[in-house]
Amino acid sequence: MAKFKPCNEDQLVMLPISLQDQLVPGTWEHTISELVDKHIDLSVFDARYNNDVIGATAIHPKILLKVILLAYAKGMISSRQIERACHENIIFIALSYNHAPDHSTVATFISSMQSEISSIFSDILVVCEELELLGGTHFSLDGVKLSANVSKEWSGTLDELKHKRDKLQEKLARVIAEHAQADKHPQVEIERQKKRERRFQLQVERLNTFLRDREPKRGSDGKEIQSNAVDNESVKMPTSHGVVQGYNAQALVDSKHQVILSAEAFASQDHENLAPMLESAKKNLVSIGKDPAYFEGKELTADSNYHSLNSLTVCQAEKVDAYIPDIQFRQRDPRFAEHERFKDGVHGRQRPDAKPSRFTVDDFSYDERKQIYLCPNGKELKCHARNQVNRHRTYDVYYAHAEDCTACLLRSRCLSKPDTSRRYLSIQVDTGQPNLIDLMKAKIDSEQGKKIYARRLGIVEPVFANICVHKHMDRFTLRSKCKVDVQWSLFALVHNIGKIHVFGALI
């Protein structure tokens, strides 16, 4: 019978290990170590330490920065995971010089980097520029909505949160009453009652603290929106997978090697973020020696979520050659003429008959002699107002008589709501002035526009796939916008370091 050496996995072995030898050239950890040691100005951290005369020695910021960057590159976003790696993983032990920072030190360091992260980001962009990783001709902007470290159940208007607090107080009163009868129950039941009582007490205290002297949270239209008792800077955002309580993480990407020029998390929708992202990217580029007019004449692509009059006005003011389609652009594209038949998932399958569509402007005829419109049922619509400006277009408004619409057999196809009294018809007036919205539509519908906009998918989408899927950044672990900003910027930093690792030549 064959003889084999024993396989004992429980034995402890003491080995002489050189920490420096663990950082092998060509590896992620070596690239990170070289960048932090030789290319990042760590003096920006000096102001936060005041222990030169008294106080305990602190862990050097370069150690914490190296450990955090490598952890994020490996998909570890929890500070407790990072602490464990510094105790068990020889690579992390080497990067931390065997100091093994605990999770609270790591979390505090990340949370307090608001004033230093922009300098570090610029230092890495300098390296990207030196290695010729920036193209500077085409840029793409996009965002991803990530959950915050908070539950949606703590969201609501102030009245809703007060109602929730009152309900919790009622539950707490019932639990206390049940606890008063605890002597009649076994010890396990008593412990369970104590835990419930404490949980409800903490929830009521949290809501009482939040609601004290709290003003309603207002949206961009001035109306009250839902607050959150845990992270009030986070907002509810619709996604393809449902509504999340979180932030909208944005990235502006250079086309040559997908280097991120600017990264920031917002509590707003995409169409509000183009201007601050362009401004942030300009600031970063100026810090590495670029001209403030760097984006003039350069191509910028963004999806239809960024399409708004304000966004197009910003691009015009910055002299950016923008390609931002409206939400209807695919319906005008003949290449997507048959896309409806694929919605059922089976080629050529017939969809059930749809309900009759609502009458549009084309279904109304104009009587030039009387200067009125006739509806599909032959009733008159008279002019109610002329040259009414709605956002970026000018309209003449016509309306029908209420008695004509009340008894009309076609009102279900004509009126948007059953309780609407009459039909209003808005006719666009040609003012002869160029309109940014219409100009962008013509630009996107052109053959060159289609070709340029098609590049966006291959430039910016892989960046989010790398960060959110490969590096597991699918949620934020910190609370408040300033801290979430740091975490998102660190992941953008790791992404750029990856480009340096692959395309650069650091030794």
Output the DSSP codes for 412-432.
HHH-SSTT--S-EEEEE---S
CB 265 within 8 Å of CB 272: no
What would the DSSP string read from start to end of 148-196?
-SS-GGGEE-HHHHHHHHHHHHHHHHHHHHHHHTGGGS-HHHHHHHHHH
pLDDT at 495: 96
Residue range 231-235: mean pLDDT, rounded: 91
Least confident of 37-41, 220-224, 475-479: 220-224
Q: How many CB atoms lie within 10 A of CB 136?
A: 15
In tens, the pLDDT along 54-82 reads 888 889 999 999 999 999 999 999 999 99
In tens, the pLDDT along 161-192 reads 999 998 888 888 887 877 776 656 666 667 77
CB 270 within 8 Å of CB 140: no
pLDDT at 341: 56
The two three-digit tokens of residue 22, written as one number: 């663990």
Give the architecture-level CATH label for domain 129-148+245-331+438-492. Answer: 2-Layer Sandwich (3.30)
Residue range 224-228: mean pLDDT, rounded: 89
Q: How confident is the model at residue 505 (pLDDT cuts 50, 70, 90)?
A: low
pTM of the model: 0.83
Q: Quick check: 232 pLDDT over 80?
A: yes
In tens, the pLDDT along 453-502 reads 999 999 999 999 999 999 999 999 999 999 999 999 999 999 999 999 99
What would the DSSP string read from start to end of 56-121?
-----HHHHHHHHHHHHHTT---HHHHHHHHHH-HHHHHHTTT----HHHHHHHHHT-TTTHHHHH
Q: How confident is the model at residue 48 (pLDDT cuts 50, 70, 90)?
A: confident
Helix axes 481-503, 61-73, angle to 10 degrees: 80
Nearest to 147 by CA among 450, 476, 381: 476
pLDDT at 338: 66
pLDDT at 325: 93
pLDDT at 489: 96
Q: How many CB atoms lie within 10 A of CB 258?
A: 22
Q: Give the CA angle between residues 91, 95, 97 to the nearest 5°.
A: 110
Share of the chain above pLDDT 70, in %: 93
pLDDT at 507: 45
Task: Give the span between the Cα atoms of 405 and 78, in whole angstroms.
Answer: 62
Residue range 42-59: mean pLDDT, rounded: 86
Q: Which letter does DSSP use for residue 42 in this model?
A: G
Task: Give the span between the Cα atoms of 443 and 449, in whole angstroms.
Answer: 6
Name the amino acid, one letter, at 45.
F
Q: Which of 2-6, 47-51, 76-80, 151-155 has the highest mean pLDDT?
A: 76-80
pLDDT at 295: 93
Q: Which of 46-55, 206-215, 431-440 has the highest mean pLDDT?
A: 206-215
In tens, the pLDDT along 77-126 reads 999 999 999 999 999 999 999 999 999 999 999 999 999 999 999 999 99
Residue range 230-248: mean pLDDT, rounded: 90
CB 438 within 8 Å of CB 42: no
pLDDT at 412: 86
Q: Give the CA angle between residues 236, 241, 245 to the nearest 5°.
A: 20
Task: Give the span between the Cα atoms of 356 and 376, in whole angstroms.
Answer: 14
Task: Give the span between the Cα atoms of 58 and 51, in whole angstroms.
Answer: 8
Residue 19: phi and psi, rounded to 5, are: -65, -35
pLDDT at 120: 95
Segments making up each domain of the chain, as ranges = 20-45+58-112, 129-148+245-331+438-492, 158-215, 361-415
Task: Give the span between the Cα atoms of 66 and 160, in whole angstroms.
Answer: 45
CB 284 within 8 Å of CB 118: yes
The two three-digit tokens of residue 51, written as one number: 């222990």
